[in-house]
Amino acid sequence: MYISRAELAALLKKPYFNSFLSRDVSNFALYRGHFNAKVLTLKYSVLAPDYTENAMITSVITEVMNYFPPRQKTIRGLIEYDVVLKANPTEEINESYYFWKANSNTHQGLQSETTLNFTYDSIFHFIRNAAKVNPNDLDLYFVNSNVSVDRITTIVFTFISV
């Protein structure tokens, strides 16, 4: 459902968008082709008052290193983004917006998993690349739609034991 600019502004002030970190831990018998997978999902709101790239990087590394056992050799990582989409105005459509949530929309497979060595350096570079994304680069997922990415609201990391 599309919303107006005023409705968007009001929604972005809600606690959901102002909370630095949301964490989910799950165990699955089968997850994205992996058997007996431990899954750690971390969502960082870039709109949160306490969000900084360095705070996010430090938090992700701490969460990952504490969640997976030290004997872990590799993990799989996936980066997705919650974004605000803007309808490209036409004569029939006024300026309007839509929330695209990384793990609630049916778009599995747009992003591929990356195998990471379970080391500080490997995880650090993976996270840093996620923080450096240009919102315009995400438009490619919506080329057949009459929308463009207005802004990123959340960076979503999923780490999976392999």
> 125 lies in which domain range?
5-161
Give the C-alpha separation, 42 to 45, whole Å.
10
Across the range 86-102, mean pLDDT stands at 76
Across the range 95-99, mean pLDDT stands at 85
Give the C-alpha separation, 154 to 117, whole Å.
25
Q: Tell me what the pLDDT averaged over the chain comes to.
A: 85
pLDDT attached to residue 111: 61
pTM reported for the whole predicted model: 0.86
Total tally of structural domains belonging to the chain: 1
